[in-house]
Amino acid sequence: MLIPGNAAIGQSGGPTAVINQSLAGVIDGLRESGAGAGGTIKKILGMRHGVRGLTQDDLHDLSDIPTERLDRIANTPSAALGSTRDKPDETYCKRILQSCQKHDIRYFFYIGGNDSSDTCRIVNELSDASGYELRCFHIPKTVDNDLMVNDHTPGWPSAARFVAKACMADFMDNISLPGIKINVIMGRHAGFLTGAAALARRADRARSTDGPQLIYLPEVPFDLERFIHDVATVYDAKDRCHIAVSEGIQDTDGNSIGAMFIQGETDAHGNVQLSGSGALGDQLAGLLKAKLTPEGGKPPRVRADTFGYIQRCFPDASPIDQREARGTGRFAARLAASGDVDGSVAIIRTSTAGPDEHYASEFRRIDLADVAAKTRHMPEEFIEGTNDVSQAFLHYARPLVGELPEFDRL
């Protein structure tokens, strides 16, 4: 079932705390098929900075990497091979295919999000059309958790763990001094990561007791007047308010609120810059200060933090996420070695989400077209009203982030 030749692995898009687990997983799986040890699969090549490196012959031979070192790299956040945000068009993809032919690459593994799976799909179609046999696999990765079919995506549980822990601690900080605190959280157009802020609440407590009290998701049109009213209501009752806001919030017409404030760039995929700036938080804080100052009185204390890049790479990964990220890589390599010619790997939950869930999942091969360039959003049953997530979301998310610290208060 194996075809003789080399295997190449690339990483693409925003790095995560576990994307190197997936890299290690592919290598695990290829080695189990005899790769690099005089087997049919000869070399395991790493693309430096994804397809950009591949087309520039910038490849790193990983065939002989010792297992111990591979494990250390797997436990290192960010993309060890380097990443890229290039969006290959037809010409670019032809160069990718030429590079594969030049380097005798017959197995192509690409770890990334929905844009990366689309790159993978195009390369696969080109190789089919050209008659050059290339087994093309996409391995899921994104802290946004916005890939179709997947129950969740490697990278998100670890980022969600950071968001939950940061919000737990920051809520304690907020109740120690009166005031309003806004935390801006990643996730682009999907609210999963921002929703994870709700994990900061103790399981048996309402948001009136435990913050964040207000959560704004990109799936719910953001209305400035309603936002001010929401915050004023909590602040009037409690002299404080803890708020989680997605970087991707949009108005009713789908215009990004953040993009209005960030003098940023648009990448090759047409994505506008939402991260790497505190502008959205600062603008919302300024607005609240202005609107909630009583006549002739002092403005409330309003602070905004933007969690930024730290949330996607903080070295405190969820154990389930580490295991699954590695597993998706190994599964893709096994699919390729056992004769499958293309596909993506999806994580499917096999247990039933609920308060007493004993979490279990499995990997499944799905068609590239099922994930390529599509965006999954928070389903309706995960959203509660206009400013919160539901219990169903908490049941979904809680088992994935690992154990959280236990706090107590007077």
Least gap, CB of 262 to its own copies (angstroms): 8
* In the complex, least distance from residue 169 CB atom to its own copies, rounded to whole angstroms: 4
CA distance 221 to 250: 6
Minimum distance from residue 116 beta carbon to its own copies (Å): 13
Q: Which tokens go with 229?
A: 């009213």
Nearer to its own copies, 124 or 277 (CB): 277
Q: Which helix (H) or strand (E) holds 78?
A: none
How far apart CA 51 and CA 120 sit, in angstroms, is 10
Active site residue 170: no
Q: Name the strand (E) or helix (H) holding 247.
A: none
Residues that bind its own copies (CB under 8 A): 11, 15, 17, 46, 49, 60, 62, 69, 72-73, 75-85, 165-166, 168-170, 172-173, 175-177, 181, 263, 265, 275-279, 281-282, 285-286, 299, 301-310, 312-316, 405-410
CB atoms within 10 A of CB 115: 23
Q: Tell me whether residue 175 or residue 341 sits nearer to its own copies (CB atom).
A: 175
Catalytic residue among 118, 144, 146, 388: 144
Q: How far is the CB of 66 from its own copies (least distance, A)?
A: 11
CB nearer to its own copies: give 49 or 121.
49
Nearest residue (CB) to its own copies, 78 versus 391? 78
Cβ proximity of 364 and 348 under 8 Å: yes
Reduced to 3 states (helix: H, G, I; strand: E, B; else coil), residue 372 is: coil
CA dist., res. 333 & res. 336, Å (int): 5
Q: Quote the CA–CA distance of 155 and 172 in Å, as a whole number.
A: 26
* CB neighbour burial string for 82-103, b if at least 16 within 10 angstroms, e if fewer: bbbbbbbeeebbeebbebbeeb
Which positions are annotated as active-site residues? 144
